[in-house]
Amino acid sequence: MVELDSKKEKLGQIILNKSIITKEQLKEALDIQKNTGEKLGEILIKKGYISDDTLTELVSFQRGFESVDLDKIQDKIDPSIANLISKDFAFKRKVFPFELRDNNLSVAMTDPRDINVIGEIRMLTGYNVRPYISTKKNIEDIIRLYTSDDYSLKEVQEIIKDEDFTIGKKFEEDLVEKNPLVRLANQIILKAISLRASDVHVEPQEKNCTIRFRIDGVLQKIKDVPKTVQRLLISRYKIMGGMDITENRLPQDGRSSINYSNRIIDLRLASIPTVFGENITIRILDRDESVFDIKKSGMSEEEVPKYLKMISVPHGAVVITGPTGSGKTTTLYSSLNHISSVEKKIFTIEDPVEYRFPQIMQVQVNTKIDMTFSRGLRAMLRSDPDIILIGEIRDIETARIAVEAAITGHLVLTTLHTNDAPSSLTRLLEMGVESYMISSAITGIVAQRLVRILCDNCKEEIDLPDSSFNEEIKRILKGKKIFKAVGCKRCNFSGYLGRTGIYSLLEVTKRIREMLLNRKSTDEISDAAREEGMKTLLESGAYKVAEGITSLEELYRVVY
């Protein structure tokens, strides 16, 4: 039982002595307390005179109770202990049991002096109660994460044993001390990493929650987990990403990391509310596994020197184009990796910064404080850069600054969302950039896609199907061995293992510049570029099919 010392100084006097509030504010709060019977600390918080944390510190000082920050120990909390009392009781009494040792139950409370509540917890659990003081918000947040009327510890433990989420023995040993919920959340991510997934999707459905991994650019369903586990799993991931678990009406994003085989894997998390609950997407970023080497990107022996020539000039702009997920960022980073040196000052402005590099000044876009691409670019140009990487051209202002920088002696690397290389030139015109500036600034454009690589263990040779190929495609494929995807255990029965790039390189030659100045159409520019050696994406992909690297089905899926 907690001993109460009536000789201890009153809370109001302690706050006054510490000059946290004025005498007038204390008198106002005491008058309210006299009329309503509310606790003094709660009145002061409602009036905005003190914070939750301040009250906790003061009560701890006044009564000699230990305080606990539940956020800092949440990885060590066992849900089975948290659920020794009901969710309703925990919310109503503002209490949370977080540890059990030798028949002593440690309980976080907003008022550890309340002997009636302590007695109730003792009767409900059968354990001796050791009270700690914590803030109301801290307790309510952790209640939402760890207690549920529907929550079943047995369900989580069964999921952990499921073969769809099993991981190597080494990782099992690393997780042995984790509580079941933390263990499950980590196992899902570790399993995704082991399968080379780039993203984990936790998708609430009406009657369950679906876990899907994006492997080699294609989503694959891994498992449905019970609806009762959904809220807890999503809350766990939100805590990992430093997001607010009490906010479920607005999108949020965050970052975290996890240790895998003695290397740190960065995680980028995003939540968005849906009709059946919050969807969580986890982007897995592994610098050790990423190939930032142009020569290993999938460019042909003919394309590599052509591209290196584009990015080796002292000024001008090189534009990488393609849809989301086509590998543009990897190409940009590979380019920087090739041209970076101690003699060059390099700035990047990105949204978000996915990987961090030494000797490169990387800037994160933050629209909340008006740190936009255009504003960041203007600041960079005042910092004497040699090379500027712009994550994406999204508006006319950014486009104009980028083009002006390229004209005035800087090498600019950037991306644009168009279907092919020639379309990027006309897209800039449509955005409002003057044709003479584009023709002077742009030195090259690269359109790209990622195609899956056939699994060598199970691919099967097929006859070239009858199709309406153009003459160039027929020439490329004539007499070559064509393969199709089959699927085996090694490739997780997808038929593919890894991805490679296909590219269409457009060099902005004198002829192309003149056509731009004369505002020729995209088709006319495309025809001229092909006459000068540019391959289309379909033709580039056809060479990969002819080499047995990918299949016709995969090429059509990606290009069309």
pLDDT of residue 267: 94
C-alpha dihedral, 204 to 208 to 209 to 211, nearest 10°? -140
Q: Which helix (H) or strand (E) holds 319?
A: strand 316-321
Residue 1's pLDDT band (cuts 50, 70, 90): very low
| % pLDDT > 90, the chain | 50
Provide the whole-model pTM: 0.70
Three-class SS of 13-46: HHHHHCCCCCHHHHHHHHHHHHHHCCCHHHHHHH
Q: List, for residues 343-371, the tens digit of each pLDDT value.
A: 999 999 998 888 888 889 999 998 888 89
pLDDT of residue 308: 95
Range with lowest mean pLDDT among 35-39, 92-96, 250-254, 398-402: 35-39
Structure-token pair, residue 158: 């069964």
How many Å apart are CA 67 and CA 213, to the nearest integer?
A: 41
Q: Does domain 294-450+501-536 have CATH number 3.30.70.580?
A: no
Ramachandran assignment for 210, one of left (phi > 0), alpha (psi -120 to 50 degrees), beta (any other): beta
Close Cβ partners of 16 (under 8 Å, ≥ 6 residues apart):
23, 26
Structure-token pair, residue 52: 């939750």
DSSP 277-294: EEEEEEEEE-TTT----G
How many Å apart are CA 188 and CA 164, to the nearest integer?
A: 9
Q: List, for residues 77-101, the tens digit of each pLDDT value.
A: 877 688 778 788 888 899 999 988 8
Phi, then psi, of 190 in degrees rounded to 5: -65, -40
What mean pLDDT comes out for the span 524-550?
94
Alpha helices in 64-148 (DSSP H): 70-73, 79-82, 87-93, 115-125, 136-146
Tell me the CATH number of domain 11-146, given options 3.40.50.450, 3.30.300.160, 3.40.50.720, 3.40.1160.10.
3.30.300.160
Closest CA to 360 of 372, 347, 376, 371: 347
User: Residue 262, class by beta-carbon neighbours within 10 Å (0-12 exposed, 13-18 middle, 19+ buried)?
Assistant: exposed
Amino acid making up residue 380: M
Contact assessment for residue 516 and residue 439, using Cβ atoms and an 8 Å cutoff: yes
Q: List, for residues 434-481, the tens digit of each pLDDT value.
A: 999 999 999 999 999 999 999 999 999 998 887 767 788 888 998 899
Domain range list for the chain: 11-146, 153-285, 294-450+501-536
Radius of gyration of the chain (CA): 30
Say if residue 6's pLDDT is above 60: no
Q: Please indicate whether residue 192 or residue 125 has the higher confidence score (pLDDT).
A: 192
pLDDT of residue 409: 92
Contact assessment for residue 121 and residue 135, using Cβ atoms and an 8 Å cutoff: no
User: Residue 23, class by beta-carbon neighbours within 10 Å (0-12 exposed, 13-18 middle, 19+ buried)?
Assistant: exposed
pLDDT of residue 82: 82
Q: List, for residues 23-74, the tens digit of each pLDDT value.
A: 888 888 888 888 887 877 778 878 887 777 676 666 666 666 788 888 888 8
| % pLDDT > 70, the chain | 89
What mean pLDDT comes out for the span 547-560?
92
Say if residue 246's pLDDT is above 90: no
Same fold flag, 11-146 and 294-450+501-536: no
Structure-token pair, residue 293: 């080497």
Q: Please indicate whether residue 559 or residue 40 has the higher confidence score (pLDDT).
A: 559
3-state secondary structure of 100: strand
Q: Which helix (H) or strand (E) holds 443?
A: strand 442-454
pLDDT of residue 390: 95
Alpha carbons within 13 A on the beta-carbon side of 102: 1
Q: Does domain 153-285 have CATH number 3.30.450.90?
A: yes
Average pLDDT value for the chain: 86
Q: How far is CA 39 from CA 34, 120, 162, 263, in A?
A: 10, 20, 49, 50
Residue indicated by tokens 């990992």? 240
Instruction: Return the bridge partners of 272, or none.
Output: 279
